[in-house]
Structure 1
Amino acid sequence: MKLNLNIQPLNTWINKEGKQPLLIAGPCSAETEDQLVATAHLLAKTGKVSALRAGIWKPRTRPGEFEGIGSIGLEWLKRAKAETGLPTAVEVATAKHVEEALAAGVDILWVGARSTANPFTVQEIADALKGVDVPVMVKNPVNPDLSLWVGALERINNAGITKLAAIHRGFSSYEKSAFRNEPMWDVAISLKTLVPELPIINDPSHITGNRDLIGYISQKAIDLDMQGLMIESHIDPTVAWTDAKQQVTPAALSDIIDNLALRKAEVKNTEVKDKLAELRAQIDKIDDLIIQKVAERMTIAEQIGKYKKDNNITILQVNRWEEILKKTTDYGKALKLSPEFTEKLLELVHTESIRRQGLILNEGIEQPKENLTHA
């Protein structure tokens, strides 16, 4: 299924001037006028930055933390823009933020992750944007809920905003990992599948929470054909008032971009195109076989379900599941498949088998409708 959003191409609303990839950079927070303007000059000097970002209003998890310098920071952004020529970008979370940012001549607005998670907040922002021709970027919600992300984009688009992009900044997770927010690339890929024309910009700063991993995530994003990066950069990250660990100096940012391997989304070489077509045809055949074999497995699972019903046996046999899991993950390792992938694949197949057997065992009992919303 595809969504029909009215979206202008990225290059019609932000001037990249041949810069690859598109780069939006600047401090997490505007702290002082000197800090912001000095950082802007250093970023402009790299020749790699297309727009200057800075947090003016900062939604914090707990009260008492620095919540942004407020409206006065907009005047600092105006000065930075006047002196460097860089367009400016600011996060907005209320209608008042929108009005003040536009009045100050801010060029690009973005909706933060916490705001995206609340349809009431998004609608308030959308209502404030009616009749305005300004680019708006929408960050993914805090939790991996594709419908919330899509809904926020639709609300902004319905307000008449056609200069629209998404920002992939990762998702909160209870599981500890090397990242501040889990990338969950599959959710971003699902969004791209729904809206192929929608530009997606990656935010490696918020995904990693660690400046040492920004280059790694940036490369991954570029390899997945994301259209740009939003990276936090501070003149001296060690003294930053917010998110110090994930900010880089303008010089370090320049090095990160220089070290990216840029690859083409389109293939023009006929020989390469033919070889890819041949290999993809092989994959298509294998995919057909996989689906066929999964269908055959489900047929057998249903037969097992009927046998369990006739003999009054429970659906779930824990020992049997553990046996399958161990045997198959070991086999997958031998075939150079990661245990994580094999286990996830097995869980999907196993869950569907249990669902089908449940329908057989509970035949005649009214079943609740399933929620098919992507999570």
Structure 2
Amino acid sequence: MWAALLPVGRDPGDGGYHRFSWTPAELDCRAWFLDEARRRDMPVERDANGNLFAWWHPEDGARDGAVLTGSHLDSVPGGGAFDGPLGVVSAFAAIDVLRGRGARPARPIAVGAFAEEEGARFGVACLGSRLLSGAIDPARARALTDADGRTFGDVLAANGLDPDAIGPDPGLLSRFACLVELHVEQGRALEEPVGVASAIVPHGRWRFDFAGEGNHAGTTRLEDRRDPMPPFASMVLGARRAAERNGTVATVGKVRVTPGGVNAIASSVTAWLDARGPSDEDVRRTVAEVERAARTAASEHDVAVALAEESYSEVVGFDHALRDRVVKALGGVPVLPTGAGHDAGVLSARLPAAMLFVRNPTGVSHAPAEHADTEDCLAGVEALAAVLDDLAHG
């Protein structure tokens, strides 16, 4: 399975992955999902939001009280191979392990692949799980646009989904008793092959729009310029200083400059801020300080600035009873928090959720160097199989 996915959406130059939702590479990943489910005689459902679910039903055909596992198949720009797909591959592999032992679940097990988890195309992370759980307004989701100006609604329609049907699905959610998502650990905190998540720290994304006046780079005097680039630069530096003061992390990793000419003063700059920290107050204070730095510099350069919150997730403490049961099923493993957002964090507001982490020796994620050793991945499969076996019979 892993070998089949490795070449899909991979840049031949730097080795990074570009699997944006409903682009050819991600559609190939969806086809792979359907093939793997078909090989196991697992019927697949696609919900109105584009999420996929492959079902392993018990002998009595029960459809409720299911244990949900899986992750996502899309990537960030130039991302690594493991973020997301490891959880989906491991879910199918764990079912293979259980079937190889002659096990049959007393309750259904579903393997999920959630849509637009990274938010790389439409800007809102965990969009599929947010829609499913009611954490985002469907009208807002339909209007989200990609870099080419295509709306989320239009892309759904082009792929056989009804944009007017997206949104919460309490009927589907009611069929799940709990969720266990396996994921590669995205730092160096985990020293054992497998760990369990305690919480996801608060995190969010904000868009800064700087509006100035385009002009000639060579003939426009400095005092006549309304250049949005200096305020943007102040915002980036302000983010670093604010993060240092508040014990958070703040990152500007995406920027769009219009018109983008070497010999032209920009007319506008749009930049996205990612901020995360140990508490909601720390994160909110960081963003407020970044906004002040941006507005002060914008005023000095006669530039307008607007700030919009695109997504925000408060601290997620995973269900303690489920977490403790998972740890017990694994005979005791490290428990650690994470600064990365996940579908499990979004869905934890609607059903008990837990996460397994597989060790990442490089500590690198969202980049081509992201890695997990084969031995650790296999340990993750065995751990997930043990957890699913316990939950599907409890």
Structure-2-length-normalised TM-score = 0.20
Q: Which has the higher contact order (CA 8 A, sep 6+)?
A: 2
Tell me which structure has the larger Cα radius of gyration. 1
Structure having the higher strand fraction is 2
Structure having the higher helix fraction is 1
Structure-1-length-normalised TM-score = 0.21
